[in-house]
A and B are shown apart, each in its own frame.
Chain A
Amino acid sequence: MVQEIMHPLSKYLREAMIPHIWCTGCGNGIILNCFVHAVDELEMDLDKLVVVSGIGCIGRSAGYTNADSFHTTHGRALAFATGVKLANPELNVVVISGDGDLFAIGGNHFIHAARRNMGIKVICANNFNYGMTGGQQGPTTPLEASTTTTPYGNIEHPFNLVHLAAASGATYVARWTTLHVRRLTQSIKRMLQKEGFCFIEVVSPCPEIFGRRNKMRTGLEMMDWFKRASVVENFSDPSKAEITPEKLVVGEFVNIEKVSYEKFLHEKISQINERKVGW
């Protein structure tokens, strides 16, 4: 008799939506895997979890997760998630999206959600380019990198995402690569238990689209770069957390306590009703 073997984590995935759309060697599956492991290890109530994403390859993660999920328009995941979190603060609201979605078209929403300290947990897959549309230059594309819209080499300076997140007010900021599976999972667990706006950047291989134009044709070659260049520098200055061919600084950069927007708001509402408003 043939016994059907279920993957132990399959209950976290919406199997009807799988197979996924990701290329061979892509890091998105690793990120989703780490996220699901973190949810599992924390024994989170899937009925109280909402996964929101924007547009881009990683944006499909929302649909693959067996929780309430919403796939917004390009760049708007955080603004949508803000409405969800405020409407029902009991929900654990996670945004999983890409560098282009969160920091180019959605950049304004990112800095303001962080500034407000909205209780949203953000996982950003940084693959250095717009993968889904075929590999155009984006806000994290390294200087001189070749993309379909920088055929002579990129002349724009990339964002340092962890520095931006820290400066914007996030209470938790970390960067890992898809090579750091255990650390990333632990980091996601830590983030999911924190109050306020939290951000994890995951440097992720995109060999089919980005790598092959930049001398890293396979996922393995890109992972090799992560292995060769990564340096764990926990609680170092995020402004100095560089990503270069020689050095890729990873680690936890910020882990502070700060009252979240939704908590502040509800305290305010109680105060108003007790007539203790003012500075």
Chain B
Amino acid sequence: MAKKEALLTGTHFMNGDIACAEGAIAAGCSFFAGYPITPATEIAEHLSERMPEIGRIYIQMEDEIASIAAVIGASYAGLKAMTATSGPGFSLMQENIGLAVMTETPCVIVDIMRGGPSTGQPTMPGQQDVMQARWGSHGDYEIIALAPSSVQEMFDLTVEAFNLAETYRVPTLLLADEIVAHMWEKVVIPSAEKIRIVNRKKPNVSPEKYMPFMPDYDLVPPMACFGEGYRFHATGLTHDEYGYPKTSSSEVQERLVKRLCDKIRRNTDKIIRVEEIMLDDADIVVIAYGIVARAALSAVKKAREKGIKAGLLRTITLWPFPQNQIAKIEEHAKKIIVPEMNCGQMVREVERAAKSTLVVFLSKLGEEPHTPMEIFEAIRRNC
């Protein structure tokens, strides 16, 4: 009974959704629960075939609320778990993304952004969920979101999303757009020893001494799982280090919620990834992510050919937001251009971080992302 290979080491030509699914498998994801939605469905379809053949779990749930709930359950039962959706489903998941934050559940949520609001344009791209990703659930929290720009990154960043989720015990989002998800490109899947895999910290105390929400020095508590003999309680209510509800204590609320934020805030240097292209001497800097970053790169190259000192900052990590990297740009850049496929979301953060540098926003909605020429024209006009 030869099981199929889990890791498809080699060179492939695949689309972003499939690369994401294979990235999850490579990261050790053993549980996927989802609900069909364009343009994320191919992830579920692919995993419905792949997961059983390598002895892992795939289930289609009754809706996205159930999908994320099942993912949290599976994670607490010890498996690396993922769900994938798009805007409307992502909205439905927000309640339990809050639960995952509160119960410090390592899990990955893929949101393939399409045009909204509401049902919007199911088959068309968008970057309209950037703020929903950050603030979609109620209450204060910090979350991690990564934005891939290529099919290779759909693989690589899915692996990274699992590693971050397991390291910080936080739901981690892969915030991709429809174009990257449906685009076909070359993907190189490395051999197992070349893929960095992180697993959650386990407790090294006896069950009697285990406090499920007592953090280590890094503010992250080690995680026991159901069935391991620790017999612990977890709740979406405000809770103390034992996991017991403390719904009337201001002190516990303050301690818990601040720690949930601080475990990310104090580690931003380790979490944040950006790509800096020709930034050192740049007078004018384009800040972009996802598919738009590729048009921006083309535009910046063209500008350099024309003697304009342009550069590109590609925010691979959208949340926590790379403020320091933007503050650095401010030292030399005269203007910042932010093209986004929305009516202005990340640009607000850029404006906040840039303080005095003039920020120009380029909006685009609908089928096509900004063309390189459109961004180049904006560079030319503003240099």
* Contact surface of A with B, Cβ cutoff 8 Å: 14, 16-17, 46-48, 50, 52, 62-63, 66-73, 76, 79-88, 90-91, 108-109, 112, 265, 268-270, 272-274
For the complex of A and B, 5 pairs with smallest distance between CB atoms? A83-B73, A79-B69, A83-B70, A87-B77, A71-B235
Chain B, residue nearest A271 (CB)? B52
- What are the residues of chain B within 8 A of A16 when measuring CB–CB? 242, 244
Of B53-61, B192-200, B253-261, B336-344, the one touching chain A: B53-61
Interchain CB contact (< 8 A) of A83 among B2, B53, B65, B71:
B71
Min CB distance B311 to A, Å, is: 45
> Which residues between 50 and 94 of chain B lie within 8 Å of chain A, taking CB atoms?
52-53, 55, 57, 59, 61-63, 65-67, 69-79, 81
| Given A76-B65, A273-B2: A88 in contact with B78 (beta carbons within 8 A) | yes
Whether A79 contacts B66 by the Cβ 8 Å rule is yes
Interchain CB contact (< 8 A) of B227 among A52, A68, A272, A274:
A68
Interchain CB contact (< 8 A) of B70 among A50, A63, A73, A80:
A80
Chain B, residue nearest A71 (CB)? B235
Q: How far is the CA of A48 from the CA of B62 in the complex (A)?
A: 27
Min CB distance B76 to A, Å, is: 6
Q: How far is the CA of A109 from the CA of B53 in the complex (A)?
A: 27
Chain A, residue nearest B235 (CB)? A71
Chain A, residue nearest B81 (CB)? A83
- What are the residues of chain A within 8 A of B52 when measuring CB–CB? 265, 268-269, 272
Per-residue CB contact flags for chain B residues 197-230 toward chain A (1 = under 8 Å, else 0) read 0000000000000000000000000000011111
Could you list 6 examples of A-B contacts with CB < 8 Å? A69-B234, A79-B66, A86-B74, A87-B57, A87-B75, A272-B52
In the complex, B96 has a CB within 8 A of chain A: yes
- What are the residues of chain A within 8 A of B355 when measuring CB–CB? none
Interchain CB contact (< 8 A) of B66 among A48, A71, A109:
A109
Whether A63 contacts B79 by the Cβ 8 Å rule is no
Chain B, residue nearest A68 (CB)? B226
In the complex, B12 has a CB within 8 A of chain A: no
Q: How far is the CA of A180 from the CA of B25 in the complex (A)?
A: 50
Min CB distance B381 to A, Å, is: 49
Q: How far is the CA of A47 from the CA of B53 in the complex (A)?
A: 30
Whether A47 contacts B31 by the Cβ 8 Å rule is no
- What are the residues of chain A within 8 A of B74 when measuring CB–CB? 83-84, 86-87
In the complex, B266 has a CB within 8 A of chain A: no
Whether B73 contacts A87 by the Cβ 8 Å rule is yes
| Given A63-B245, A88-B77, A269-B52: A72 in contact with B236 (beta carbons within 8 A) | yes
In the complex, B95 has a CB within 8 A of chain A: yes
- What are the residues of chain A within 8 A of B62 when measuring CB–CB? 79, 108-109, 112
Q: How far is the CA of A126 from the CA of B310 in the complex (A)?
A: 67
Whether B233 contacts A71 by the Cβ 8 Å rule is yes
- What are the residues of chain A within 8 A of B233 when measuring CB–CB? 14, 17, 62-63, 68-71
